[in-house]
Structure 1
């Protein structure tokens, strides 16, 4: 389908992506209603509308650049304050909550498969894909599709359903902290800390207070960007080398290969080591969080682009139901376990987000809400999901194939 702006019009697409991100930030910091919705959701919805009204294409090389370069660079910039000693002391249970939330994904896949297996052909293949994706991320989605030989037409339809649902669920997760019921039933120390530390001024939103002007120099910008590029370069090269030399053949070796062969895990590890063992140097660099957050906003705009509503309606409406049931059960189970084991509302929301959307969207939510102490832990938990997602996806796919 032709769009007003073609997929090869690189400058126009970059202008739109960055323009939407900038406008979202402006609205969030200027208007109370936008601050409650968050700039992240505003940008995502704006991109979804442009794509569905055929202004911009749903696929383009520019979007691939965002996934391949913008996202990896954002991670080290966001983790400059991630002193691992402090993180473990303050938020060491996040990984446990993530695993509990993963049980919700597995339960959701099981229920959804049993409800729809007679209506969607070869549903076991898509059950494997969504198990991997809703515990890990897009890399697991692709790996499961290849492992089970899923047809391209189903992959395309499921991708669209997944993106639309993820966008809607992200909106729900961001809105929950403003709902009285959840605030009464769960503890919320990070929300309280943000509210307590904000020096409120007349007419100023929480986002504007948090992202106020800071002392920053040209040296800060150059050091922050240089460190981010070097960390991504070394991590990418090392992960590629290690994934090629570490043998596979059993669960332990495959797990070891999956960890050390994952560039995102290495990016996170190297940055956190710097923040932990060179805190004086890293803390002296100002502006890294602002740069990383802006890159994340660009990524969130791209997230909304593939959510083409007509494709879902015309090709596979049942796939939206299939994925919707999984997400709903994940949320319910996450809240039940979170309540039973006394996790905070912020930990529950971020871990459910990391399951469904991956570490990047979970980090984006933590940033949008100002829960900065949870950024490092939730990124690590989400990357752990990349590894276990493939094993669980293969297990569920083979199990369902026999049913």
Structure 2
């Protein structure tokens, strides 16, 4: 296995280069291929093969940490430089409705999945010990609604044993990543799906057109000075965000530990909040003109590297180790997805709202903007805003889900 991060980074860069080169090819084969397979999905799936076939050691690699802590906040800053707050507000309440629907789907999906699977395999209801399946499922609920901080909170609240926790982490990562892959495929066919469902996409189209108009208006051939200023803004604000997170998270831990349920003691939470807030603030400053030099394009490159590193954490062969738990996770995710699709159809919401509402729950701030950007880079901030709501709701909703799981598991 390759353990050198420099080599792994080179492999990921080569994969991304291959995908984008072929995606822009005029050859008939590639044109037909990318008509059905979104380029973003390949940027995520091909790196996963490196892990699946044990070519690289992703578990001990620091690349995901670097991408999520350095490139992600910088990309959020650069993508929000052209944010159109008025346009986002004009998107209406459907995005919020579907986000809350996604949360509800996870809360009720866990107990339903456990009920269904216990009929097939009664051993899943293995009492109330630390390694009880229902206890492990509470950590997945925390992860799928809020994120890592909420997952850790559920582990402590429900006294989850190490063995079942390790198994559920694998279920969490693989099922969530498989669902993300499905969303990326759907994003690539969004126009067809929306046309078939009769969804009103006018607000999204208006927002996208306004951003594109602004980009064309200020577009110019970037100079070295432009690119240096883009780097200065992106990584400079990322530095400020890290400094703020390094101060705020320990302060809340020491002075208001009860606010951990809101993720106030999580450094990653504050990192995303500060980077996004300052990025939006910069959109009202002269820095907004940097969008004309390609700020959002550089931010998008960072997002693609993040996608590639996320992909390296999915090992499909892990499915064979605990097939009953992965089937449990699939049923759980099917309830979440089914409820979202039903409500989206009833209110005739665009696919974008369904996809981002789901990913804001399941993936959080690390991947919600990825799915949103798959529709258009200007829509990434919508994913961030909803993901932040997931942090706030995560502990409460996951705790309630845990109580339902306790009832089913003890039965």
Shorter-chain TM-score bucket reads 0.7 to 0.9
Query: Is 1:391 aligned with 2:374?
Result: no
Shift, 1:107, TM fit: 1.8
Shift, 1:34, TM fit: 2.5
Question: 1:264 corresponds to which residue?
Answer: 272
Question: 2:47 corresponds to which residue?
Answer: 47
Q: 1:152 to 1:256 in 2, by over 3 A?
A: closer
Which 10-residue stretch deviates more, 333-342 or 319-328? Answer: 333-342
Shift, 1:236, TM fit: 2.3
Question: 1:19 corresponds to which residue?
Answer: 14
Q: 1:29 to 1:361 in 2, by over 3 A?
A: farther
Q: 1:296 to 1:188 in 2, by over 3 A?
A: farther
Question: 1:374 corresponds to which residue?
Answer: 379
1:136·1:355 contact (CA, 8 Å) conserved in 2?
Answer: yes
1:87·1:373 contact (CA, 8 Å) conserved in 2?
Answer: no
1:357-399 Cα distance to aligned partner (Å, 9 max, x none): 22332321222232x4432122110122022212222332244
Q: 1:191 to 1:313 in 2, by over 3 A?
A: farther
Superposition map of 1:277-296 within 5 A: 277-278=284-285, 280-285=286-291, 286-296=293-303
Shift, 1:125, TM fit: 2.0
Q: 1:83 to 1:96 in 2, by over 3 A?
A: same
Q: 2:318 aligned to 311, 326, 335, which one?
A: 311
CA distance in structure 1 between the aligned counterparts of 2:231 and 2:360, rounded to whole angstroms: 26
Q: 1:22 to 1:35 in 2, by over 3 A?
A: farther
Superposition map of 1:26-41 within 5 A: 26-30=21-25, 31-32=30-31, 33-34=33-34, 36-41=36-41
Which 10-residue stretch deviates more, 32-41 or 84-93? Answer: 84-93
2:79·2:378 contact (CA, 8 Å) conserved in 1?
Answer: no
Q: 2:160 aligned to 147, 150, 163, which one?
A: 150
CA distance in structure 2 between the aligned counterparts of 1:92 and 1:274, rounded to whole angstroms: 26
Shift, 1:147, TM fit: 3.9
1:95·1:381 contact (CA, 8 Å) conserved in 2?
Answer: yes
CA distance in structure 2 between the aligned counterparts of 1:140 and 1:29, rounded to whole angstroms: 41
Shift, 1:139, TM fit: 3.4
Query: Is 1:163 aligned with 2:158?
Result: no
Q: 1:74 to 1:192 in 2, by over 3 A?
A: closer
CA distance in structure 2 between the aligned counterparts of 1:342 and 1:114, rounded to whole angstroms: 31
Q: 1:27 to 1:150 in 2, by over 3 A?
A: farther
1:50-84 Cα distance to aligned partner (Å, 9 max, x none): 21112111312333322332222222122211132
1:278-300 Cα distance to aligned partner (Å, 9 max, x none): 2x431344222111111111111
Superposition map of 1:128-207 within 5 A: 128-176=138-186, 178=189, 180=192, 183-187=195-199, 189=201, 193=205
Question: 1:297 corresponds to which residue?
Answer: 304
1:108-128 Cα distance to aligned partner (Å, 9 max, x none): 112113233543341222221
**Secondary structure in 1 aligned to 2:57?**
coil
Question: 1:207 corresponds to which residue?
Answer: none
Which 10-residue stretch deviates more, 335-344 or 318-327? Answer: 335-344
2:138·2:402 contact (CA, 8 Å) conserved in 1?
Answer: yes
CA distance in structure 1 between the aligned counterparts of 2:220 and 2:16, rounded to whole angstroms: 20
RMSD (CA atoms): 3.0
Question: 1:119 corresponds to which residue?
Answer: 123
Shift, 1:256, TM fit: 8.6
Q: Structure 1-normalised TM-score? A: 0.83
Q: 1:219 to 1:149 in 2, by over 3 A?
A: farther
Shift, 1:35, TM fit: 5.3
Shift, 1:146, TM fit: 4.1
Question: 1:205 corresponds to which residue?
Answer: none
Q: For this pair of structures, how many residues does the alignment match?
A: 378
Q: 1:268 to 1:175 in 2, by over 3 A?
A: same
Question: 1:206 corresponds to which residue?
Answer: none
Superposition map of 1:330-349 within 5 A: 330-349=336-355
Shift, 1:93, TM fit: 4.5
Q: Which runs of 5+ in 2 are unaligned?
A: 127-131, 210-215
1:163·1:303 contact (CA, 8 Å) conserved in 2?
Answer: no
Q: Structure 2-normalised TM-score? A: 0.82
**Secondary structure in 2 aligned to 1:262?**
helix
